[in-house]
Amino acid sequence: MSKKINIPSLDLKREYAFLKKGINRQIKDCLGSQQWILGTQVKELESKVSKYLKAKYTIGVASGTDALLLSLRSLAIQIKNKEYFNGDDEIITTPFTFVATAEAIVRSGAKPVFVDINPKSFNINPENIKRAINKNTVGIIPVHLFGRSSEMNEISQIAKENNLFILEDVAQAFGAGFNGKKLGTIGNCGAFSFFPSKTLGSYGDAGLIATNDEQLASIAKILRVHGQTAQYNAKYIGYNSRLDSMQAAILLAKFKYVDKFNGLRQKVARKYHNGLKDIKGIQLPNSYGHIYNLYTIKTKADTRDKMLKFLNDAGIGARIYYPFGLNKMEAFRTAKISGNLDNADKAAKSVLSLPINPFLKDKEIDYIIEKIRVFSKERAGSAI
């Protein structure tokens, strides 16, 4: 049996050691420029990300949550010619996501409609979207959960046939693609988060909206500066939601490594896959283009918490993303539920995310695999 190794769920220290020179230089330049509000660093980042995503417009904002909210407000202004959606306007999304997805829907004035997920991908099931559409439906928010693309061909087709917008929640999937396009550029717009744990993470809060729609981009740009179209003259009720220059500087230093780091995440995932694939009762994530912001396995509901404790006791920072579907939260008690949410409810009880980052060492991955194998063996042979 190997000696105990402590492996946190998120460890950014190694990444900083690797990037230190570039990050420190960017911070120094930022201090030198003293352009704190939408300064050169923000413009440079927006322009580099635009090129990378092949999105005509990118708008740096204060967080991924704001990227969702400002996108929705911009869509309401564009589509309905109203500042906010009204309570009858329905936006279809998944209940198996971070709170911010549906929070933004409510704050934009609309009603979230939760539909069930595909139990293999944990992403929204397009068949359920179809069933939830009615005359009040205005749009769909697919979330590319854990770094894996939603089924964008089907979702795009449904949106087209029913004249609905698509806002992609790309918070967990910066750099991932689908059919030759980067995620976040397939729908009307994409909302990215640069929260520190994401595949491109800042050292605080930051986010970005990407779109190819000029009108949408110009509304979002107005909303991020208090709704002002000219200095001290507001057209809309807006936000103070600018991407911070210092965060942009840090992101510039990290940005050039995003593909390399995502490739390293995929390498870790392959190693996990090879080490765990023969264990019965565990579902592994595995799909083309997945960039593994999180490596999330599914166990049996009655063993998940025991496995979590076993791994945590062994020093492994396994975690649950997410222990409750949004449909179970008091905040969303007035949201609408279409059909049953059995797969989402089951996922909340049986998922377990293993530590993953580009700098995870082979011996650490081997240790995690070993501990899962030991746990599985102790539990009725291998059928956990």
Ligand X SMILES: Cc1ncc(COP(=O)(O)O)c(C=O)c1O
Say how far apart CA 271 and CA 365 lie, in whole Å: 7
* DSSP 8-state secondary structure symbol assigned to residue 7: B
Q: Does 100 bind ligand X (CB under 6 A)?
A: yes
Q: Which residue lies nearest ligand X, judged by its C-beta? A: 64
Interface of this chain with ligand X, residues 204 to 243, rule: CB under 6 A:
205, 207
* Least distance from ligand X to the Cβ atom of residue 289, Å: 17
Q: Tell me: does residue 121 bind ligand X (CB under 6 A).
A: no
Number of residues that bind ligand X (CB under 6 A): 15
Q: Minimum Å distance from CB 175 to ligand X?
A: 15
Q: Which of 74, 93, 149, 172 binds ligand X (CB under 6 A)?
A: 172
Tokens found for residue 377:
């063996």
Q: Please, which of residues 307-346 interact with ligand X by CB under 6 A?
A: none
Q: Which is nearer to ligand X, 64 or 325 (CB)?
A: 64
Stretch 128-167: interaction string toward ligand X, x if CB under 6 A? ---------------x------------------------
Q: Cα torsion at 68, 74, 75, 79 (round to 10°)?
A: 170
151 or 169: CB nearest ligand X: 169
- Round to whole Å and give the CA distance between 371 and 307: 9
Among 70, 133, 171, 282, binds ligand X (CB under 6 A): 171
Q: Which is nearer to ligand X, 22 or 196 (CB)?
A: 196
Binder of ligand X out of 58, 65, 94, 211 (CB under 6 A): 65
Among candidate residues 249, 253, 183, 241, the one with its CA nearest the CA of residue 63? 241
Q: Could you say whether residue 57 binds ligand X (CB under 6 A)? A: no
Closest distance to ligand X from the beta carbon of 281 (Å): 27
Contact predicate 22/365, CB 8 Å? no
Nearer to ligand X, 174 or 375 (CB): 174
Could you give the CA distance from residue 276 to residue 243 in angstroms, rounded to a whole number?
Answer: 40
Count CB-CB contacts under 10 A for residue 154.
16
Determine, following the binding rule CB under 6 A, whether residue 202 of this chain makes contact with ligand X: no
Q: Is the peptide bond before 239 cis (omega within 30 degrees of 0)?
A: no
94 is a contact residue toward ligand X (CB under 6 A): no
Beta bridge partners of 234: 228
What is the helix (H) or strand (E) element at residue 81, kind and residue range? none
Whichever of 114 and 310 has its CB closer to ligand X, that residue is 114
Give the residue with the Cβ less far from ligand X, 100 or 152. 100
Strands 181-182 and 351-354: unpaired
Place of tokens 């011996």: 363
Q: Does 247 bind ligand X (CB under 6 A)?
A: no
Instruction: Select the residue interacting with ligand X from 52, 57, 98, 178 (CB under 6 A).
Output: 98
**Least CB distance to ligand X at residue 207 (A):** 5
| Of 92-100, 129-137, 295-303, 357-365: span binding ligand X (CB under 6 A) | 92-100
Q: Residue from 50, 128, 193, 245 that binds ligand X (CB under 6 A)?
A: 193
Question: Distance between CA 343 and CA 125 in Å, rounded?
Answer: 10
Exposure pattern of 167-186 as b/e (b: 16+ CB <10 Å)? Answer: bbbbbbbbbbbbeeebbbbb
Q: Which region among 71-79, 116-124, 168-176, 233-241 touches ligand X (by CB under 6 A)? A: 168-176
Judged by beta carbon, residue 208 or residue 282, the one nearer ligand X is: 208
Q: Which two tokens stand for residue 292?
A: 């593994």
The b/e string for 61-82 (b: 16+ C-beta within 10 A; e otherwise) is bbbbbbbbbbbbbbbbbbbeee
How far CA 247 is from CA of 139, 252, 258, 313, 369, in Å, comes to 31, 9, 16, 35, 35
User: Quick one: DSSP state of residue 109?
Assistant: T
Interface residues with ligand X (CB under 6 A) are 63-65, 97-98, 100-101, 143, 169, 171-172, 193, 195, 205, 207
